[in-house]
Structures are given as C-alpha cells and as structure tokens.
Structure 1
Amino acid sequence: MGPRDQPTRFGVPVNYETGEPLTDRQMHHLEAIKVAADVLYAAMHEAEGSGPPGEHQDHVFQSRRMAIAATHVETALMFARKAALEAK
C-alpha cells in the first residue's frame, strides 16, 4: 500500500457479490424491501392466527398453504434484494 492509495474503510456495507460499497440509493431500497417484508409477514401471521417469531428465529407457519406462501415470499425477497443491488 502506497501513500496515494485510498485508506481501507471499516464498517461500510458492501455488495456481497462484488465487494463494492453500497450506495445510499441501494441501502435505501434494501431497507424499503425489509420494511415491506416485515409488514407482509405480520399480516400473514395475523391471518393465520400464529404468533410472530422471536429474535433471531425464522417465521414458522402452521398451515400448509401459508408455509408455501412464505416460501414464495422468501424467493421474491431474494430476487428483490439482488435487483436492488444491481441498480447503481
């Protein structure tokens, strides 16, 4: 490392695929996706009559159809996050 090189920054969120730091726009979109997912999961739990998970636990649904819906939501969230990271 030379004197003209950029100093290494710590604690900066990065794109896990490219290693590039996230832009403010990307972080805003990822946060919006997270908030929307939390609202959707809460509505799903309320519709089914189940309780939300505790801290650091996965969403568990009792009915087969709601479990399938949750799987589709997880897939949609994965693709939405990837799309948000592709936008500059």
Structure 2
Amino acid sequence: MPETVEEANDRVGRSRTSPADRVTANLPPRAALALERIVELTGYSKTDSIIRAIQVYAYMEEVWSAGGAVSVTEDPDSEPQQLKIL
C-alpha cells in the first residue's frame, strides 16, 4: 500500500500540526498528462504524486551536486542510461 503524506511526514519528523506550504501551479498539457499517468500507475492522489515527484527531484539534484549520477534500466535486457534534466 502506498505511503501517505502523513506517514512521510512522520518519517521525516514533520509535525502533523505544522502548516503545510500551499502552492498553486499551472501545468502545461504535457505535464498534466504525465501527472495523470502517474496517478494511473500508482493509485496516489495528484497531491501525493506531486509531493513524491518533488522529493525524487530533490534527491536527484543532491546526487548530481555531489558529482554522482542517476541511472535507470528500462527493462532487464537494457543497459543503464544516465538520467539528465536539461
């Protein structure tokens, strides 16, 4: 079962009573379709999907800032490919 926002907050030590940051974003069509696809694939809400995406992106930036690389393998027979965000 997917981790909830509350569970993630508990894991990182954020109080449930602390105010959350509210952000409004206008997504271009390509990003909106990607968000819908994430929701379909994971069953998470849009909010939880956006939160997770931000957390993943922050991790990737930390790795890159330290001189590391982030790689993916699309299927068991493919070679790892380094991810880069332009």
TM-score range, shorter chain: 0.3 to 0.5
Bigger relative CO (Cα 8 Å, ≥ 6 apart)? 1
Could you state the TM-score of these two structures normalised by the residue count of structure 1? 0.33
- Greater share of residues in strand: 2
Compare CA radii of gyration and give the structure with the larger one.
1
Could you state the TM-score of these two structures normalised by the residue count of structure 2? 0.34
